[in-house]
Structures are given as structure tokens and as C-alpha cells.
């Protein structure tokens, strides 16, 4: 089977930390709403949900209680989606605050690989911060997803591997189009993919209208796909997506059009080396 024919892992980033209800009434805030968005995305074909949490007024939250409620509600819906919690949180949060998301039931955690401008703010990930988060992920047995926004972050990835702060299994997410990071272009995605220090599974996420283009490219290049309201609120020009599930549905259609079936959560766990699910969710074991 050629690389391009492998099943595609679709990740749904259902809320994020930045988008607001003033921009779209479909952005979920409450744990129950975020959990419902995750379950809807899974029903539409997502194998992984990338989770952030919010306070009821929409401010970003890394409170363990919020993440726990989301995870419990997702599992109460008999949903076996792979649960990935953000340790990126929002700009301005301390590393300790950001680590609040790594609750029981999480299977993956993000690992942001550098400091960067993030819109008009600065997203701080000093090297000691990265090492600390990598250490915590390893300690609690979660598979890291390395968030790469710029070329130099691949050198940091190589450094982490060389120093033994990170080892397989891990997954790489190329997030392109953040103002302050690399733009969402085919040239940039190919450059990043070629710069991976070893062959590992990777996903592409494009911000805003680039979500569609990056998804199409990743499908052709043998990568995986992330969509969802965290990165993009629109289904088409001027038409808001009524939830991340609509964006997942479109990704599924694109994937099948490219000859790639969406991977199930079980297939995703096997591909990404995730082993904690059966231990944490015995009732949902495949
Ligand atoms: N909200 C961004 C500043 C992650 O989830 O790990 C960081 C972010 C990355 O969303
Ligand atoms: Zn995120």
C-alpha cells in the first residue's frame, strides 16, 4: 500500500482558546457543550479530539475540573474518541496553570515547541518550559503531540530527542497560518515535512480559510488532517460552520475523494502508540 493510501486520522479541534461567541454563536464554552461538540465530531468521523476548556463567560481555562467534566461526559456518551488535552492553553498562562489539563482519561497532550508571536501576543515556550511539559507527559503516560509552527521548532524537536527529553511514540502537528508563525503554503508544509528528524506520523492544521487547502495537501502527501472551530469558524466564504462536526464531515468527504478512509479511534491508538485507553476506560474497550 502506498503512503498516500493509508487511513487518515482526523483530529477535531473543537474549541481552542481564542475564538469567541462574538465571532460565532457555535463556539462551545461549557464543559457539557464542549463534550457534545467532541461527540458530534467523533460521530462525523473524527478519531481524535483536541481539547481546550473555557470558563462559562468564555475565558480560556486550564482548570482540571473543567477538563475532567468534559472527559467524563464524552465517555458517558459511549464515545471512544482519542482524547488529547492542550498544554498550550492560552497566551499569558503559566506553565503550571497550563498543566492543569492533564487529567485522568487524557491519552495525548500537546507539546508546543517554541516561543513565537501569536497574533499581537507572545506565546512563551522557553526551552525549560518545553522540557518540563515533556517530562510531565512522560510521567503520566500520555503520548505527546508536538505542535510545530515554524521551521526552527523542528531543530528543537531534534534537540529534545537527542537529549532524551522525548522519545517515540510521539506525533507531530504542523500548525500553519498563525500570524507570527509560518504561513499556510504548500512550500512551507513540504519544507516542514522534509525536516522531520525521523519518520513519524504527522498532521497539518491550517488557520482560517487555509484549513481547507492544508487538509487537501496533507491528504495527498500522506499526512493526517486537523479541522475544527479552534482554527477556522467558516464552512465557506461568509458561511459559519454550525459546529466542528460540519468541518469534520467535509474532511471525511475530501479524504474519501482522495482514496483514504478515516481511521477509527482504535486504529489511531495503534498507529500512534497510545496504550492508556483500555486501562482508563475499561467499559469502552474494543
Ligand atoms: N492557544 C494557543 C496559544 C495547544 O493547544 O497546545 C496554543 C494552542 C496550542 O492552542
Ligand atoms: Zn489548541
The 10s digit of each residue's pLDDT in 171-204 is 999 999 999 999 999 999 999 999 999 999 999 9
CA 222 to ligand 1 center in whole angstroms: 24
Cα(228)–Cα(45) distance, integer angstroms? 12
Ion ligand 2 residues within 5 Å by Cβ: 86
The pLDDT value given to residue 2: 42
Q: Find cell 497560518 and name the residue.
A: 177
Output the CA 24–ligand 2 centroid distance in Å: 18
The pTM score is 0.97
Atom in ligand 1 nearest the alpha carbon of residue 50:
5
pLDDT band at 280 (very low <50, low <70, confident <90, very high): confident
| pLDDT score of 1 more than 70 | no
Residue 20 pLDDT class (50, 70, 90 cuts): very high
Ligand 1, residues at Cβ distance < 6 Å: 16-18, 86-88, 90-91, 110, 112, 118, 123, 147
Instruction: Produce one character per residue of 81-118: b if its CB has 16 or more CB atoms within 10 Å, e if not.
Output: bbbbbbbbbbbebebeebbbbbbebbbbbbbbbbbbeb
Tell me: pLDDT of 283 over 90: no
pLDDT (tens digit per residue) in 133-175: 999 999 999 999 999 999 999 999 999 999 999 999 999 999 9
Which residue CA neighbors atom 2 of ligand 1 most closely? 90
Amino acid at each position: 500500500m502506498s503512503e498516500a493510501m493509508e487511513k487518515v486520522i482526523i483530529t477535531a479541534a473543537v474549541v481552542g482558546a481564542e475564538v469567541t461567541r462574538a465571532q460565532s454563536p457555535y463556539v462551545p464554552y461549557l464543559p457539557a457543550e464542549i463534550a457534545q461538540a467532541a461527540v458530534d465530531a467523533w460521530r462525523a468521523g473524527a478519531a481524535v479530539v483536541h481539547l481546550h476548556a473555557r470558563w462559562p463567560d468564555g475565558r480560556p481555562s486550564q482548570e482540571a475540573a473543567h477538563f475532567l467534566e468534559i472527559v467524563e461526559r464524552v465517555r458517558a456518551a459511549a464515545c471512544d474518541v482519542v482524547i488529547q488535552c492542550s498544554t498550550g492553553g492560552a497566551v499569558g498562562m503559566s506553565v503550571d496553570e497550563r498543566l492543569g489539563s492533564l487529567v485522568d482519561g487524557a491519552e495525548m497532550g500537546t507539546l508546543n515547541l517554541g516561543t513565537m508571536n501569536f497574533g499581537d501576543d507572545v506565546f512563551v515556550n522557553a526551552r525549560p518550559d518545553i522540557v518540563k511539559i515533556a517530562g510531565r507527559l512522560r510521567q503520566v503516560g500520555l503520548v505527546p503531540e508536538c505542535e510545530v509552527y515554524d521551521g526552527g521548532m523542528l531543530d528543537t524537536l531534534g534537540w529534545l530527542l537527542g537529549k532524551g527529553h522525548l522519545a517515540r511514540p510521539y506525533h507531530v502537528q504542523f500548525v500553519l497560518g498563525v500570524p507570527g508563525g509560518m504561513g499556510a503554503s504548500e512550500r512551507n508544509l513540504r519544507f516542514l515535512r522534509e525536516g522531520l528528524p525521523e519518520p513519524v506520523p504527522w498532521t497539518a492544521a491550517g488557520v482560517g480559510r487555509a484549513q481547507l487547502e492544508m487538509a487537501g495537501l496533507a491528504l495527498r502527501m500522506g499526512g493526517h488532517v486537523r479541522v475544527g472551530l479552534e482554527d477556522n469558524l467558516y464552512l465557506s466564504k461568509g458561511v459559519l460552520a454550525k459546529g466542528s462536526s460540519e468541518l469534520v464531515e467535509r474532511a471525511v468527504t475530501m479524504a474519501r475523494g482522495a482514496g483514504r478512509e478515516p481511521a477509527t479511534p482504535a486504529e489511531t491508538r495503534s498507529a500512534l502508540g497510545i496504550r492508556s485507553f483500555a486501562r482508563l476506560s475499561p467499559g469502552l474497550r474494543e
